[in-house]
């Protein structure tokens, strides 16, 4: 098991206090591709923020990769997250003026656990795996949406995290690119043993995931 969330309740205080997650408990395992689906506003993004340790303001507990997230100081948490969790979003947030290679290298340059040359070599390997080696030196704004999203996935993998959290990674892609990105995420789980948890509205995706979790009004139905 790579992650265990236990009895998570989440409240937002704006405009008045209201409960957005209700007693969510779930376990994620190594090598699993899990989709979270459900209506807009059902709490998918809120849950993913908590699972990816970006939001620690919740009731309940979150254990992942040997840590009790709430017991970490904010510096410990930042370091832990950079090292152990990769993120992919609907809007990939690549830096447009940086080239593809530089974008992928960025999280590793922040972590500083390898030399720049080592990071570059690792980024090139990832580019090869996503079939985009030829585009390494192109500025990221000159890529198609699907290519940008594949680069965003490579960027999420550069620090070799075991857990990848993706919020609607195919949200603004056409069918062909959606399939390509989905296959890439699936490959990461099946061939690299990583765990991917993603929010999606796409039935083709959640039906073809290893496991699909439905959210209804802040409750999960496993």
Site string for Mg ion, 33-62 (x = CB under 5 A): -----------xx-----------------
**Rounded least distance, CB 213 to ligand ATP, Å:** 12
Encoded tokens for 176: 């062909």
Q: Which partner, ligand ATP, Mg ion, none, binds residue 43 by CB below 5 to 8 Å per kind? A: ligand ATP
Least distance between ligand ATP and beta carbon 214 (Å): 11
Q: What, of Mg ion, ligand ATP, none, does residue 124 touch, CB below 5 to 8 Å by kind?
A: none
Is the Cβ of residue 45 or residue 149 nearer to ligand ATP in the bound state?
A: 45
Q: Which is nearer to ligand ATP, 187 or 214 (CB)?
A: 214
- For ligand ATP, the closer of residues 100 and 212 by Cβ is 212
**23 or 187: CB nearest ligand ATP:** 23
Residues of the chain by 3-state class (helix, strand, coil), percent to 5: 40, 25, 30
Asked if 170 is part of the footprint of Mg ion (rule: CB under 5 A), the reply reads no
Cis before 82 (ω within 30): no
Q: Residue 14 binds which entry of Mg ion, ligand ATP, none, with Cβ cut-offs from 5 to 8 Å by kind?
A: ligand ATP
Q: Are strands 85-89 and 163-167 parallel, antiparallel or unpaired?
A: parallel
| Beta carbon of residue 167, minimum distance to Mg ion (angstroms, whole number) | 6
User: 46 contacts which partner out of ligand ATP, Mg ion, none, CB within 5 to 8 A by kind?
Assistant: ligand ATP
Neighbours of 13 (CB within 10 A): 8
Task: Tally DSSP H helices, then E strands, for the chain.
Answer: 7, 10
DSSP output for 160-216: --SEEEEESTTTT--HHHHHHHHHHHHHHHHHH--EEEEE---HHHHHTSSEEEEEE
- Packed helices 145-157 and 100-111: angle between N→C axes, nearest 10 degrees: 20
Site residues for Mg ion per CB under 5 A: 44-45
């Amino acid at each position: 098991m790579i992650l265990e969330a236990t009895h998570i309740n989440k409240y937002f205080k704006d405009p008045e206090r209201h409960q957005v997650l209700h007693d969510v408990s779930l376990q994620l395992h190594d090598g699993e591709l899990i989709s979270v689906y459900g209506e807009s506003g059902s709490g998918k993004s809120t849950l993913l923020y908590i699972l990816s340790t970006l939001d620690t303001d919740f009731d309940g507990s979150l254990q992942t990769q040997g840590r009790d997230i709430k017991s970490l100081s904010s510096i410990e948490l930042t370091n832990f997250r950079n090292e152990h969790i990769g993120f992919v979003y609907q809007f990939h947030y690549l830096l447009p003026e940086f080239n593809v290679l530089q974008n992928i290298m960025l999280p590793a340059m922040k972590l500083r656990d390898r030399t720049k040359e080592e990071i570059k070599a690792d980024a090139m390997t990832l580019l090869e795996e996503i079939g985009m080696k030829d585009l390494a030196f192109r500025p990221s704004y000159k890529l198609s949406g699907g290519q940008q999203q594949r680069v965003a996935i490579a960027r999420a993998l550069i620090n070799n995290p075991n857990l990848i959290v993706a919020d609607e990674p195919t949200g603004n892609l056409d069918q062909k690119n959606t399939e390509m990105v989905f296959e890439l995420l699936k490959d990461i789980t099946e061939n690299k043993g990583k765990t991917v948890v993603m929010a999606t509205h796409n039935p083709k995706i959640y039906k073809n995931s290893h496991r699909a979790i439905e959210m209804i009004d802040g409750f999960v139905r496993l």
